[in-house]
């Protein structure tokens, strides 16, 4: 698996617009890119004007397919993003719990 972590600093006055667009783009990837396993958008607690995006891709080919699909571009970011930092990693471990079905609370452990 391939993990991508991106930190965006919004241009002054453009934070809400940036977050809205990242939400839209993230959902499109989940819906349309078979190899996109997860998109997580976050706002750091102590960094006003910043937003983070964590992506998880099945493999390098899935990411390459995403990059090469017709219409793929990041030019929409130019008026919204003052700076960004991108880190791409090969995932070496990914422990987790299964997600609950939509509309249901996650399963919890019963104390023993």
- When pLDDT is averaged across residues 18-33 and rounded to a whole number, the result is 95
Architecture of domain 2-90: 2-Layer Sandwich (3.30)
Q: How much of the chain, in percent, has pLDDT values that exceed 90? A: 72
- Secondary structure (DSSP) of 33-87: -TTEEEEEEE--TT-TTEEEEEEEES-HHHHHHHHHSTT---GGGTTTEEEEEEE
Give the pLDDT of residue 112.
46
Residue extents of the structural domains in the chain: 2-90
Average pLDDT of the residues in 27-53: 94
pLDDT tens digit sequence for 45-56:
988 999 999 999
What mean pLDDT comes out for the span 29-57? 94
């Amino acid at each position: 698996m391939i993990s991508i972590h991106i930190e965006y600093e919004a241009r002054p006055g453009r934070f809400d617009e940036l977050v809205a667009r990242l939400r839209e783009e993230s959902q499109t990837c989940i819906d349309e890119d078979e190899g996109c396993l997860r998109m997580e958008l976050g706002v750091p607690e102590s960094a006003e004007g910043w937003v983070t995006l964590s992506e998880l891709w099945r493999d390098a080919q899935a990411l390459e397919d995403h990059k090469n699909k017709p219409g793929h571009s990041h030019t929409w970011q130019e008026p919204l993003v003052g700076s960004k930092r991108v880190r791409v990693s090969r995932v070496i471990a990914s422990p987790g719990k299964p997600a609950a079905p939509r509309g249901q609370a996650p399963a919890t452990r019963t104390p023993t």
